[in-house]
Amino acid sequence: MSKLKVGFGFDVHQMKEGHPFIMGGVQLEHHSGAFGHSDADVIVHAICDALLGAANMRDIGYHFSNKDERWRGISSLILLQHVIGLLKEKGWAVGNIDAMICLEAPKINPHVPAMKANIAQAAGIDEEDISIKATTNEQMGFIGRGEGVVAYAVCLIEKA
């Protein structure tokens, strides 16, 4: 009999004019981008937190402190690879990932296939086991004003 666990992740980053916008390992064309210590890839950060939470291994900030220069500007896909390694050490395998991005612009749908391919490669799972969706905040709040971007993720992990 296998053991299943579910994890939830959340991430938010401020948008800054003229900054690159990386989402799911894809650079999006936009006048501003998410700003952070790493590449500020909110969807990958939310996925990392969901996976770590499911395995009861704390959170992304614990493993990749924004005070540690090793992580400055790093691709979040590398962080995801590291998280997958931590899970494997404990005998966990990823079942599936379901993620949601909330922002007003740019449109995410054209980039979903590339994002899924990047995340699947980094996580060592099939693209069919990853769902990426996007929504707006109906022009309300900091997301509606384009001041920030948010991502949520849920994952299932399994131990044989």
pLDDT tier at 34 (50, 70, 90 boundaries)?
very high
Residue 160 in this model has a pLDDT that exceeds 90: no
Average pLDDT, the chain: 96
Query: Tens digit of pLDDT for each residue in 104-145?
Result: 999 999 999 999 999 999 999 999 999 999 999 999 999 999
C-alpha 109/C-alpha 87 separation (Å) is 30
Residue 73 in this model has a pLDDT that exceeds 90: no
DSSP string of 98-158, one letter each residue: EEEEE-SSS--GGGHHHHHHHHHHHHTS-GGGEEEEEE--TT-HHHHTTSEEEEEEEEEEE
C-alpha 82/C-alpha 102 separation (Å) is 25
Q: Partners of 23 in the beta sheet? A: 26
Q: Which pair of structure tokens corresponds to residue 124?
A: 């060592």
| Prior bond of 106 cis (ω within 30°) | yes
Percent of the chain beyond pLDDT 70? 99
Domain that holds residue 124: 3-159
Contact 27, 21 (CB under 8 A): yes
Q: What is the pLDDT of residue 65?
A: 87
Residue 68 in this model has a pLDDT that exceeds 90: no
Tell me the pTM. Answer: 0.96
Residue 150 in this model has a pLDDT that exceeds 70: yes
Residues making up the annotated binding site for a divalent metal cation are 11, 13, 45
Residue 70 in this model has a pLDDT that exceeds 90: no
Question: Into how many domains does the chain fold?
Answer: 1
C-alpha 50/C-alpha 56 separation (Å) is 10
Residues making up the annotated binding site are 11-13, 37-38, 45, 59-61, 64-68, 135-138, 142, 145
Q: What is the pLDDT of residue 75?
A: 96
* CATH number of the structural domain spanning residue 56: 3.30.1330.50
